[in-house]
Structure 1
Amino acid sequence: MSIVIRVLSLSLLAFGMFLFPQEVLSSASASLSLWWRFVLPALLPFFILSELLMASGFVNFLGVFLESFMRPVFRLPGQAAFVVAMGYTSGFPMGAVLTARLRKSGQITRIEGERLLAFTNNPSPGFMFGAVASGMLGKPTLGIILAGSVYLANLLVGFLFRFYHITASPAQPIKLPSFKRAWQELKTAQLQDKRAIGQILSDSIKQSFTTVIMVGGFMAFFSVILRLLNIWHLTLLLATLSHFLIRFIPITIQQAFFNGLLEMTIGCQQTIQSVPILSQQIALLALLMGWSGLSVFAQVVGFISGTDLRVAPFVLARTLHGIFALGLSQLFLIFAKIPTTTLPLQPPNLSAQVLNTWHLSFLIFIGFSAVLFSLALGQRLHR
């Protein structure tokens, strides 16, 4: 039955692409333009950096220091802290890429990989602060509420997933941070990698370009799918059917919700256009950014396809993330002092957003790493 559904779906998609070639061309061109101007320059440096850091043994070094914090809080090895920091720094799909790398190298188990995958996928800080808060809403201060809701909600998901698939096997002993042992782990990792520095750099750039090109392909493909669904009014049909069950929510808001379930960016844009009340805008934006969209789901599935990691825990985590982010955003709105004046809406400056992404990502990476190191060292001093 699943084979029949798959064939019919692909046949319908092919029929739509032949029937509406101009719409397919325009939607694919728009998504690839966004990828070229924003995603490529924003993500590529972080992909290359992460590959170089992993090849240099920095992840092993970091793992020794943060084992005493990551084990009791998230039931993860210390190496997972690097994935958490990079995932929160650069956004989708860095968490999935690095989690798959750790699993393929045997540094984490399947269960640990599924725990890690559950809470290391976020929108990038540049997207939340630059594209949504400043560009779409015209209120940069709201970026703090959106980012705070999304990040804190994901950490809550990570803490909940520490209880995921707990076995009866004895707990692993937690070793305290040791600079000597961390340095030894780094040297061992470098000795095991026989490649010359030029080869490491070449492989890092090649792997990073392959990854970021895959991201562009997913963006274009799902942009075409969503465009065809809107041409056929299928998302409007879903919103209309849903309206019969939930009548107090307007159809326009429900249509923005269904579009956001498929593609986060388009859902965020339609949310700003169709939702008139600020608190409702923030709630739906936080929900969609926590959920992330089927486009991101497909990217994650593609990157973990070479491992034994399962997708079902990731879907559950994204559902919880969206719900938690929605609730936290409303709590933050209650206690925050948001300016009542609306800033003029301007088309977002993508070049400025790229620079803003690098700046914010650097600050978040340094801040997050400093917090983790402080907690680990504090635990050592306490003992």
Structure 2
Amino acid sequence: MTQILFLLFLFLTLITIKKSKYLLTILPAFIISFIIISLVIFPKNTINAAVDGLNTWFYIVLPSLLPFFISAEALIGLGVVNFIGTLLSPIMKPIFNLPGEAAFPFVMSITSGYPVGVKLTTKLRTQGVLTRIEAQRLISFASTSGPLFMIGAVAVGMLKMPNLGLLIAIPHYLGAITVGLFFRYYGIKLDKSKETNNNTKNLIKTAFDELILARKKDNRGIGLILGDAVRESFNTMLIIGGFIILYSVIIEILDITGIINLLSSIISFIPFISNKELIKAFISGLIEMTVGCKNIASMSTIPILIKLVTINFIVAWSGISIHSQASSFISKTDLKISIYLLSKLLHGIFASIYTVLISNIFIKFPINTSVYASYTYTNITSWRKWFEIFKFSTILQISILSTIILISLFISLSFIKREK
């Protein structure tokens, strides 16, 4: 029955395409109606999927990301981001054509994962720290997965091959950097960003001046900053949780109604793309990356390199679920979601290419990444694991922040010596 409804939905969609002015109005109504009908027809399956999504959010995503969101919000309010940005400006401008403040969202994204980078980029944009062009450049590559997911979840938990963890992470980050280099030329004719101060002799003094100036502009007490950081972070986590639950249900509906099978059958007719199960897993991954990665990893007949190439594309693309989370932040700014989606597509392509290029190195000379073995993201439904992940994320956040500050000071001192 649901397949008939879906075919009817496609027919009505094709009709509305001819009248494009009604497409954006009628199409969402069709989609929501189809989901509601499926919820009524398959209540048990959809409720189980919703519970799985809720468990994923509460036991994995919440303890993993909450420390990063709270600390990031507090650091922005305290002016630490301005301090770090001034120190890193001598390297960020020539490489990515961005101010030093852009380094903070990029590093936070690398260490914590989706959608921290997008959230912080839009935060800096709304505060006027970044221009529209700068924020658009930054968001193109400061939206990455974190090592806990790529190594702990995919390599250890799904593939059961910890030695291949870096073969997932390195191509992913190389792909992001490549996209950043590509987008450094985006909007260059319209760029109205302020010129970077080339005088690096007083770089550290300037950084402290920026820190003090940022605190004066904010004018909130430390207690209020921390309170706002906790409230804003929990609100963000609730939004993320809602999308995780929603797309868990949508994936289940698409699976039990046979829609994914239908799409994979259609695509399998394309020459050189004949493995229907791989196509099915890939389509699932385009919607929700965790489901897609898990399905691909469980396929015993697929060569490991094909698995890694496909998984790395999916993780870099990140899935419609993550895109929905990102769009909830982007929509509050003047940034273009279409440019962001293009950058994620390029990220997926570059990550897959880098996987092929460096695969021989890691397959012949494996590197053990078992440090993440305790965080496999599979069947974690206990308070003990919750606090373990929260503790690990907190320690990781403190370590990363300390490292950023030390690297920033080292870079600034190096430029000062060079000037002398």
TM score, norm. by length of structure 2: 0.85
Residue 268 of structure 2 contacts residue 274 of structure 2 at CA under 8 Å; is this kept in 1?
Answer: yes
User: Partners of 1:143 and 1:355 in 2: how far apart?
Assistant: 22
Structure 2 match to 1:3: 25
- What is the RMSD of the two structures over their aligned residues, measured on CA atoms? 2.5
- Within the candidate set 261, 264, 269, 1:236 is matched to 261
User: Partners of 2:218 and 2:407 in 1: how far apart?
Assistant: 30
Residue 68 of structure 2 contacts residue 394 of structure 2 at CA under 8 Å; is this kept in 1?
Answer: no
- Within the candidate set 160, 166, 175, 2:198 is matched to 175
CA spacing shift, 1:357–1:338, aligned 2, 3 Å: farther
Q: Summarize the alignment of residues 62-101 of structure 1 with structure 2, pairs less than 5 Å apart.
A: 62-101=84-123
Residue 67 of structure 1 contacts residue 176 of structure 1 at CA under 8 Å; is this kept in 2?
Answer: no
Tell me how far 1:364 sits from its aligned partner. Answer: 5.7
Q: What is the one-letter code of the residue matched to 2:87? A: F
Tell me how far 1:380 sits from its aligned partner. Answer: 4.4
Structure 1 match to 2:163: 141
Residue 204 of structure 2 contacts residue 412 of structure 2 at CA under 8 Å; is this kept in 1?
Answer: no
CA spacing shift, 1:359–1:189, aligned 2, 3 Å: closer
User: Partners of 1:167 and 1:347 in 2: how far apart?
Assistant: 45
User: Partners of 2:168 and 2:412 in 1: how far apart?
Assistant: 28
User: Partners of 1:347 and 1:197 in 2: how far apart?
Assistant: 35
Deviations 1:269-318 (A, max 9, x none): 01012252111111111111110000000000001221111111111111
Which range is displaced more, 235-244 or 357-366? Answer: 357-366
- Give 3-state SS (helix, strand or coil) of 1:322's partner: helix
CA spacing shift, 1:266–1:156, aligned 2, 3 Å: same
Deviations 1:197-226 (A, max 9, x none): 211111110001000111110100011111
- Within the candidate set 150, 173, 178, 1:156 is matched to 178
Tell me how far 1:4 sits from its aligned partner. Answer: 1.3
- Give 3-state SS (helix, strand or coil) of 1:282's partner: helix
User: Partners of 2:80 and 2:270 in 1: how far apart?
Assistant: 53
- Within the candidate set 60, 68, 78, 2:82 is matched to 60
User: Partners of 1:259 and 1:143 in 2: how far apart?
Assistant: 22
1:271 equivalent in alignment to 2:296: yes
Structure 2 match to 1:189: 214
Q: What is the one-letter code of the residue matched to 2:127? A: S
User: Partners of 2:402 and 2:303 in 1: how far apart?
Assistant: 36
Which range is displaced more, 362-371 or 128-137? Answer: 362-371
Deviations 1:248-275 (A, max 9, x none): 4400001111100000000000101225
Tell me how far 1:360 sits from its aligned partner. Answer: 5.6
Tell me how far 1:332 sits from its aligned partner. Answer: 2.0
- Within the candidate set 361, 369, 386, 1:335 is matched to 361
Deviations 1:4-33 (A, max 9, x none): 112111111111112111111100100110
TM score, norm. by length of structure 1: 0.92
User: Partners of 2:396 and 2:263 in 1: how far apart?
Assistant: 37
Structure 2 match to 1:294: 320
Residue 85 of structure 1 contacts residue 365 of structure 1 at CA under 8 Å; is this kept in 2?
Answer: no
Q: What is the one-letter code of the residue matched to 1:148? A: I
Mark the runs of 5 or more structure 2 residues left unpaired by the alignment: 1-22
- Give 3-state SS (helix, strand or coil) of 1:244's partner: coil
Overall identity of the aligned pairs, in %: 35
CA spacing shift, 1:164–1:107, aligned 2, 3 Å: same
- Within the candidate set 135, 150, 154, 1:128 is matched to 150
User: Partners of 2:280 and 2:68 in 1: how far apart?
Assistant: 34
1:281 equivalent in alignment to 2:304: no
Residue 118 of structure 2 contacts residue 329 of structure 2 at CA under 8 Å; is this kept in 1?
Answer: yes
Which range is displaced more, 93-102 or 268-277? Answer: 268-277
Structure 1 match to 2:278: 253
Tell me how far 1:173 sits from its aligned partner. Answer: 4.2
User: Partners of 1:172 and 1:130 in 2: how far apart?
Assistant: 42
